[in-house]
Structure 1
Amino acid sequence: MFYGLCLEMKKRNLSENQAVLWLGGVLGLLLLSVFPQILPWAADILGIWWPPAALIFFLLVVIILIILRHTITISEMETEIKELAMQLTLLKDENKDLKTKIERKTKGEQEKS
């Protein structure tokens, strides 16, 4: 599991933030599996009468945190894409204006000759 995460990070398919979330989730669930006495204690604290349901609850919490992180990343990227699209439009407009000025200047010089 750890090797797979490192490999995906090396290929740039997985960011460090995502890897930390996955590792934290996996280690948390592994901890609950290795020390089974934690699960009934946690279930009792949460008011869950069937301890394996607490494991499912923790799994859902990890998945929700990962989805939340992806949602935040997507929102940031959408904002960045909008900003880049606006900058591109402004640069295209500026490029068009410069081409028009160059053409006018070139035509003016040709008429003088």
Structure 2
Amino acid sequence: MATVQEVIDRGREPLNDADKVRYPDSTLLNYLNDGLAEIYTIRPDLRFGSYGTPVARVALTDTFPLSFAHEVAIKHYMVYRSELTDDENVNTNRADKTYQLFTKAVATT
């Protein structure tokens, strides 16, 4: 299983930010944690046995808590959020498409 840092680094590829210049790890980590919270809202069954426990934020060194298919979904979510906040290069259509990929990936895994 991948670490959260590895998932974030793979999420940088579609953002063309392999050098970590445009998006700091802290920003993408926040997006990843937001995406996990959204996944658990869409698919509460992924928290089976932990419904009464608050969703814990993950750190860069933690193991990603879900499957590889959900890693792919999180990558789409990070691109979506990055596109929404990147005022200079915003492409609303790309943001919408990546959010659709995210929700489809979550719903079908």
| TM-score, L = length of structure 1 | 0.29
Larger Rg, first or second structure (1 or 2) = 1
In proportion to residue count, which structure has more helix?
A: 1
| TM-score, L = length of structure 2 | 0.30
